[in-house]
Amino acid sequence: MTSRVIPVSPFVLVVFGATGDLARRKLLPAMFHRDAAGQLPEAATIIGAARAHLDDAGFIAQARAALIEHVPAGERDEAVLARFLARLRYVAVDATGEAGWGELAALVAQAAERVSVFYLATGPALFGPICERLARFGLNGPLARVVVEKPVGKDGASARAVNEAIGAAFPEERVYRIDHYLGKETVQNLMALRFANGLFEPLWNAAHIDHVQITVAESIGCEGRAGYYDTAGALRDMVQNHMLQLLCLVAMEPPARLDADEVRDEKLKILRALKPVGAQEWVRGQYRAGASAGGPVKGYLEELGSEESATETFVALKAGVETWRWAGVPFYLRTGKRLAERVSEIVVSFRPIPHSAFAPSAGPIAANRLVIRLQPDEGVKLFIMIKDPGPGGMRLREVPLDMSFSAAFNARNPDAYERLVLDVVRGNQTLFMRRDEVEAAWAWIDPILDAWSAQAEPPKPYTAGTWGPSAAIALIERDGRTWVDGAP
Ligand code: BG6
């Protein structure tokens, strides 16, 4: 099947933080790919806004370098590159002062009839000041939308303050809180799997599911972001947003329609039904020097250049959803940096069969598992028991019914940001977090943060290149279950 390219209306995209890491690594490449696919109308303009004193040519040179670094050579057609770079403008703007705002307003006004998207690829401390100025300079009209990156705040109270400040300038239906996991192809597929197939829904409950594991393991370290990361840690950086969103998509009730508020209402019910996490139900860790991708790597503290930090680079949690559907079903969450490999997957483990008719010589009977692999090698595997082929009596074996998306569809898998930025232009909020969702997620996270800050014990060390501290293994093994590590 080929992908479909639906052109969007003319727009102007203003990227605050345009010289930063996110713009270079994700936003500019995403827009380039959409241009290459023929999805950007001629009158689509991208304005970079940042503190640095650059002119258009200086910004274009930086953007070209970023695209050369982050778009594979085979996908970088010179004519498309020239067309894309010609869309770029730059304004030096002081997010907390007055400089540059008049110029920015004049530039956006040239495109007055177009949708304008203000993408705040900055820290959350700047969301309020930028939104206040957007309003003051008349840039928050009916065709204007604001996009904010996570983290929205660093706890419930600061998230509410940030949301208030954004809300003073933009109504909720024009605020787009990005969680890029929601734009990933396989995350979207989770909804297709659950709601476009009759097979799973009757089994999707506590009567048939034993537990769920959600792993987002990274092999990278802090990649030059240790300054930010040290103020966040894995709980705020990954669990409060990406992992809870994945949990919601697994656990939510089928929405009546796949529209923004129906989907978000259902996710919100799950967030509000999360059981508070007990003291024995979490493990936090921090990596020490070790090996990754075949080479030696530094420990977190060395990367940070500090002798001391209680920031966790790993967290494992046992969560629960207190609803009729999920009563008593544990959701084990685990994420960390510098783990043994890069793999994100959701494992739904069904209950074991109630009685075996087979002789012990047939071997053990594993409970069925549905594994939804988000990355790498996106796909879905359903593990079932079969008879080992050939003579030799009845011997049982576990095999996957294997659906690898890359093998099945010869299509390029677009980056999440490609879909999400164009969804903003289209005005589709389905894959963005609503204010109440973000605040409900913090309400569950805050007590864990409080417990950690009241605790003298530092995060448990683990060697880079392993699956985290041994306490994380104990967390699940205490319940008679095991983590499904790496590729099964
Ligand atoms: C970001 C986190 O939101 O997600 C990073 O801030 C993390 O720390 C990244 O590395 C992971 O995203 P992906 O798409 O590479 O799984």
> Is the minimum distance from the CB of 237 to ligand 1 under 6 angstroms?
yes
159 lies in a domain? no
Q: Which atom of ligand 1 is nearest to the CA of 242?
A: 3
Catalytic site positions? 242
What residue owns the CA closest to ligand 1's atom 13? 181
Same domain, residue pair 237 and 187 = yes
Same domain, residue pair 188 and 71 = no
160 lies in a domain? no
For residue 217, the CA-to-ligand 1 centroid distance in Å is: 10
Q: Which amino acid is at 349?
A: S
Ligand 1 mutation pick, 149, 154, 180, max ligand atoms within 8 A of CB: 180
CATH code for position 139: 3.40.50.720
Q: Which atom of ligand 1 is nearest to the CA of 216?
A: 16
Listed in sequence order, the residues at least 6 apart from 379 whose beta carbon sits closer than 8 Å to its beta carbon are 186, 373, 402, 403, 404, 405, 406, 407, 408
Listed residues 92, 127, 149: the one ending a domain = 149
204 lies in a domain? yes
Tens-place pLDDT, residues 336-380: 999 999 999 999 999 999 999 999 999 999 999 999 999 888 899
Structure tokens at 380: 């879905």
> Is the minimum distance from the CB of 345 to ligand 1 under 6 angstroms?
no
Same domain, residue pair 130 and 222 = no
CATH code for position 246: 3.30.360.10
Looking at the predicted structure, is the pLDDT value of residue 84 above 60? yes
What residue owns the CA closest to ligand 1's atom 15? 218
For residue 426, the CA-to-ligand 1 centroid distance in Å is: 25
What is the pTM assigned to this prediction?
0.94
Q: What is the DSSP string of 144-181?
A: EEEEEPSP--SSHHHHHHHHHHHHTTS-GGGEEEE-GG
487 lies in a domain? no
Residue 188: predicted pLDDT: 87
Band of residue 223 on the pLDDT scale cut at 50, 70, 90: confident
Band of residue 444 on the pLDDT scale cut at 50, 70, 90: very high
177 lies in a domain? no
Dihedral (C-alpha) 426, 427, 429, 435: value to the nearest 10 degrees? 150
Mean pLDDT value of segment 392-399: 93
Same domain, residue pair 140 and 188 = no
173 lies in a domain? no
Q: How many CA atoms lie within 13 A of 130 on its CB side?
A: 27
For residue 35, the CA-to-ligand 1 centroid distance in Å is: 24
Ligand 1 mutation pick, 241, 242, 311, 378, max ligand atoms within 8 A of CB: 242
Mean pLDDT of the chain: 94
Same domain, residue pair 208 and 140 = no
Looking at the predicted structure, is the pLDDT value of residue 157 above 80? yes
For residue 195, the CA-to-ligand 1 centroid distance in Å is: 27
157 lies in a domain? no
Sign of CA dihedral 443, 446, 448, 451: negative
Task: Please give the span between the terminal C-alpha atoms of the chain, in angstroms, as a whole number.
Answer: 28
For residue 115, the CA-to-ligand 1 centroid distance in Å is: 28
Q: Which atom of ligand 1 is nearest to the CA of 184?
A: 14
Q: How many domains does the chain have?
A: 2
User: How far from 326 is each of 297, 319, 462, CA to CA, in Å?
Assistant: 41, 11, 32
Residue ranges making up the domain that contains 444: 182-414+435-477
Percent of the chain at pLDDT exceeding 70: 99
Angle of CA points 319, 308, 158, to nearest 5° = 50
For residue 237, the CA-to-ligand 1 centroid distance in Å is: 8
Tens-place pLDDT, residues 287-337: 999 998 778 999 999 999 998 999 999 999 999 999 999 999 999 999 999
What residue owns the CA closest to ligand 1's atom 2? 237
294 lies in a domain? yes
Same domain, residue pair 103 and 189 = no
Q: What is the DSSP string of 216-250?
A: EE-S---TT-HHHHHHH-HIIIIIIIIIHHHHHHH
Residue 1: predicted pLDDT: 46
Structure tokens at 218: 């990274």
Helix-strand-coil split of the chain, %, nearest 5: 40, 25, 40
Sign of CA dihedral 376, 378, 380, 384: negative
Same domain, residue pair 222 and 134 = no
Q: Is 11 strand, coil or helix?
A: strand
Integer Cα distance of 212 and 214 in angstroms: 7
Same domain, residue pair 133 and 208 = no
Q: Which atom of ligand 1 is nearest to the CA of 150?
A: 3
Ligand 1 mutation pick, 216, 238, 315, 344, max ligand atoms within 8 A of CB: 238
Same domain, residue pair 374 and 310 = yes
Same domain, residue pair 200 and 116 = no
Backbone angles phi, psi at 315, to 5 degrees: -145, 140
Band of residue 2 on the pLDDT scale cut at 50, 70, 90: low
What residue owns the CA closest to ligand 1's atom 8? 237
Listed residues 149, 169, 194: the one ending a domain = 149
